[in-house]
């Protein structure tokens, strides 16, 4: 991998623009559109890996922002939303409630309607 290719990956991860990344990495402005497209395809795996690393590095900062919002936001709904997000990310997502009805709780007419509805499809 050349220095220009490394620079392209770094620029592309930050901008998402292949042409601008090619120019910023030292490739000719005249050929940047084609070269950027080629590099994007050629270096797809390296770009993905670099993107994942950048995102992973931002996780602590994002959690700090959420924590700050949960503590200090003026809006109660913003505070509650931040708290919910923090709990969700910690794996403490609320369980969705599903109501069920047993056959014993249904009348004969309700059972017939259910059977009819199932057999029509």
What is the reported pLDDT for 89? 83
pLDDT band, residue 71 (cuts 50/70/90): very high
CA distance 96 to 107: 27
Counted domains in the chain:
2
Residue 9 counted as domain residue: yes
In a domain, 52, yes or no: no
Asked if the structure places residue 25 within a domain, the reply is yes
Q: How far is Cα 39 from Cα 45, in angstroms, rounded to an integer? A: 11
Q: Domain containing 36: what range? A: 1-42
Q: Do 75 and 119 fall into the same domain?
A: yes
Same domain, 36 and 66: no
Q: pLDDT tens-digit profile of 13-55? A: 999 999 999 999 999 999 999 999 999 999 999 999 999 999 9
Residue 53 lies in a domain: no
What does the pLDDT look like over 73-84, one tens digit per residue?
999 999 999 999
Angle (nearest 5°) at CA 99 between 112 and 104: 40
Are 29 and 70 in the same domain?
A: no
**Could you tell me if residue 17 is inside a domain?**
yes
pLDDT, position 121? 61
Those residues with Cβ within 8 angstroms of residue 93's Cβ, 6 or more apart along the chain or in another chain: 87
């Amino acid at each position: 991998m050349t220095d220009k290719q490394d620079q392209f990956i770094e620029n592309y991860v930050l901008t998402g623009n292949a042409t601008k990344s090619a120019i910023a990495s030292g490739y000719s402005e005249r050929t940047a559109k084609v070269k950027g497209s080629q590099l994007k395809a050629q270096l797809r795996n390296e770009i993905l890996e670099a993107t994942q690393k950048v995102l992973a590095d931002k996780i602590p900062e994002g959690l700090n922002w959420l924590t700050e919002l949960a503590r200090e936001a003026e809006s109660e709904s913003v505070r509650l939303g931040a708290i919910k997000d923090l709990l969700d990310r910690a794996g403490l997502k609320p369980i969705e409630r599903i109501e069920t009805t047993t056959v014993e709780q249904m009348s004969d007419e309700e059972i017939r309607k259910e059977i009819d509805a199932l057999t029509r499809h």
